[in-house]
Amino acid sequence: MRDFAAIDFETANREATSVCAVGVVVVRDGVLTDTFYSLVKPYPNYYSFWNVRVHGITARDTADAEEFPAVWQQVEARVGELPLVAHNKRFDEACMRAAMEHYGIPDPGREFLCTLVAARRVFGKSLPNHRLPTVAAACGFKLRHHHDALADAMACAAIALKIL
């Protein structure tokens, strides 16, 4: 796979609609051509202790952020019709679709691939686990800021280039 957009969402709470950050890495012809990161004002707009503990984003950080529709418009402008790739797409695709549905954004129905599933197939039991930092390292990428949406999207892109 040489043309795709790796994407990662962080959420403010347990609700899939509560996207509070998005990172996107666009790859064309096997070359990283664009990156995008944005904080997002989540819906519902509250932060759980556990989510903040994971990613460090707080209500103060997103107080002046745009809501999902405005941010998604910027993502769409970069991604176009490229397939999306995520590590554990079940989570990221659920967030994307829940937020789109909540805000009445039509679903383009684009292809969405999963590097977690691919890593399990490719690496099997040769890795201690298939978490993003572990798989990224196995693909030669050092993930320094796990749970930063752009850093995670970069790691996912590196994995996708190696194993998809």
pLDDT bracket for residue 122 (50, 70, 90): very high
Mean pLDDT of the residues in the chain: 97
pLDDT beyond 90 at 43: yes
Q: What ranges in 113-148 are assigned the alpha helix state H? A: 115-123, 132-138
pLDDT beyond 90 at 19: yes
Whole-structure pTM value: 0.97
DSSP letters spanning 2-64: -SEEEEEEEESSSSTT-EEEEEEEEEETTEEEEEEEEE-B-SS----HHHHHHH---HHHHTT
Report the top-level CATH class of 4-163: alpha beta
pLDDT of residue 34: 98
Domain ranges in the chain are 4-163
% of the chain surpassing 90 pLDDT: 98
CB atoms within 10 A of CB 136: 25
**How far apart, in Å, do the first and last CA atoms of the chain sit?**
6
pLDDT bracket for residue 99 (50, 70, 90): very high
> What is the rounded average pLDDT of the residues 90-119?
96
pLDDT beyond 90 at 108: no
pLDDT bracket for residue 148 (50, 70, 90): very high
Of 8-12, 108-112, 121-125, give the lowest mean pLDDT range.
108-112
